[in-house]
Chains A and B, each alone.
Chain A
Amino acid sequence: MSVSRPEPVQIVKQRRDGALRGLLSGVPYISYLGIQFDRRGDELTAILPFDEKLIGNPALPALHGGVTAAFLEVAAIIELAWGSLWEEMEAGRVDPTAELGAVRLPKTIDFTVDYLRSGLPRDAYARARINRSGRRYASVHVEAWQDNRARLFAQGTGHFLMPPPPGAPAE
């Protein structure tokens, strides 16, 4: 195989952003909460823009604990799915322009949320780190913050059941 020139940056970005959009657009609950993802290379940051309907304690006011849990869980699931998709995509095994609605997402086995301070009525951010990703099980840690990256308002750890690889016999 001859050495080929690197692809133009715009082509690469289009492919990666398209794949990420495809992954997210299929999940109604992600759009319902208004969660977006910022991508830098393969690094994802989940963003939860503030909205009145996310409030759990109107007196403070503070984000609903369930919203925080959901935000962390979404960040973890998308990080895992993105990790698998990235490998397939960069190896040229998936067509990122194809409909990605059929992407099988990891299933949550358990998820533990540690509420460190109350979520303020403003945008929140989260990043997930895959601590272990095996063929069947994965362990992911997620950190969430608002104004200050070093002052987490919540963190979470979850275990996930990975979907069988494409082409694997059905369970």
Chain B
Amino acid sequence: MTDIIQIARQFIEAIPHARALGMEFESLGDGKAVISMPYDTRFIGDPATGVIHGGAVSALMDTASGAAVMCHPAGPISTATLDLRIDYFRAATPGQRITARAECYHVTRSVAFVRVTATDEDAARPVAAATGAFTLDRPSGASR
């Protein structure tokens, strides 16, 4: 179990775009991942309000989702997004950190299903949510 977490953590931290957006792990394990990202004026999407672009929130949710797949007990060796549907509920409050909580809630032999929610510092009112399907590559020779 520790191996899986270690591998997934290293995998995520080796991602240039996750590093570029300043993403940090909050927790990871058992098909669940929590990753957060600081507010940064470079990621503003609406100059009139200073609100972060939805695309940056998508990138955070996609990364958390991939991490959730990687730390699923099925022990995948790699994953890629097949599809992601993002619903935007409200503008994230400028200046606040954004946190994505992803859960890989079902896996088949080759597909993983994930749901993820993004919140700012007001955790009671989500900023966005997404559901996605991811590829699941199991180690060769793994029991099927």
Contacts and interface: CB of A to CB of B under 8 A. Distances in A.
B55 A70 contact: yes
A56 interface: yes
Secondary structure class of chain A's binding surface, majority of residues: mixed
Interface of B: 14-20, 41-48, 52-56, 58-63, 66, 78, 80-88, 91
B17 A54 contact: yes
Interface stretch (A13-21, A107-115, A136-144): A107-115
Q: How large is the interface on A (under 10, 10 to 19, 20 to 34, 35 or more residues)?
A: 35 or more
Given A29-B43, A32-B43, A111-B58, A66 B63 contact: yes
A73 B14 contact: no
Nearest to B45: A29
Interface of A: 26-29, 32-33, 52-59, 62, 64-67, 69-71, 73-74, 101-102, 104-105, 107-115, 118
Given A29-B43, A69-B62, A58 B16 contact: yes
B55 A28 contact: no
Nearest to A110: B87
B59 A112 contact: no
Contacts of B66: 65
Given A55-B16, A111-B86, A28 B47 contact: yes
B58 A58 contact: no
B123 to A, nearest CB: 22
12 contacts: A53-B17, A53-B19, A56-B17, A56-B62, A64-B16, A65-B62, A66-B59, A69-B62, A69-B86, A105-B45, A111-B54, A118-B80
A25 B85 CA distance: 28
Contacts of A27: 44-47, 53
Contacts of A54: 16-17
Given A58-B16, A107-B88, A65 B54 contact: no
Contacts of A55: 15-17
A33 to B, nearest CB: 8
A29 B56 contact: yes
A83 to B, nearest CB: 18
A107 B46 CA distance: 9
